[in-house]
Structure 1
């Protein structure tokens, strides 16, 4: 009976472990993409974004937007994940697998900012489809 109970508990924990691993991978994909922007690799961040993102914004417009918005903020001093929410539906885009990450971020020239990064898994990999700073 003890063996059965241990096996049952172990079996119940496996999905949680996989879910946590998947969440870590998703977070890593988001952090890697943000790091490209932090490093000034704006063109590369566009190339690594989801096709939906690229269909809405040319590389040159993306780079110009980041130069106008991110550059004046200065370097990232601190970034801490605030929330992560999964969605299967978001306004204005096809149903799919989405992850919305929010970060509390401190820049050199803006001490309190909220970054929102939306990722899509439409292409089989988590890729950025949206990025906003408040």
Structure 2
């Protein structure tokens, strides 16, 4: 868990870059579906499968069993997802301590059955022209 928190701190201490309008279509058409499909796996409580669908870098930093146990501890008390709305999207090219790349951070306003008004933060990185999850956090 300490490794996961450290990893997330690195991501969110990195300055973001404005998204150009031409990038918005790519995000909506190609990247957002990847994020939402991955969240559906998490919503289905397929936590080990969600870990396998993350980037190799994420898997090298976060142990499978730690990931599974963290999600069980955090997600189970929240209940089912009632609704999700994209709040914002940020892009950046590097994270401190991580590989350079093209990153997108989706901040999603989420209402869970047992806890409304939370934010899910999901970070994806482009690897070989495909986006993969590299971070997930609920606050």
Give the distance between the partners of 1:41 and 1:94, measured in 2 at CA. 27
Q: Which of 81, 92, 97 is the equivalent residue of 2:97? A: 92
So what's the TM-score if we normalise by structure 2? 0.80
Which residue matches 1:129?
134
- Find the aligned partners of 2:24 and 2:104 in 1 and give their Cα distance: 14
- Report which of the two structures shows the higher radius of gyration computed on alpha carbons: 1
Q: Which residue is 1:42 aligned to?
A: 47
Whole-angstrom distance in 2 between the partners of 1:117 and 1:34: 9
SS at match of 2:127: coil
**Larger RCO (CA within 8 A; separation ≥ 6):** 2
In 2, are the aligned partners of 1:101 and 1:116 still within 8 Å (CA)? yes
Q: In proportion to residue count, which structure has more strand? A: 2
| 2:26 corresponds to | 22
Alignment CA distance shift 1:43-1:21 (3 Å): same
How many aligned positions are there?
119
Equivalent residue runs for 1:7-86 within 5 Å: 19-24=23-28, 25-86=30-91
Q: Which runs of 5+ in 1 are unaligned?
A: 1-14
Show structure 1 runs of 4+ deviating over 6 A: none
Cα distance in 2, alignment partners of residues 60 and 124 from structure 1: 29
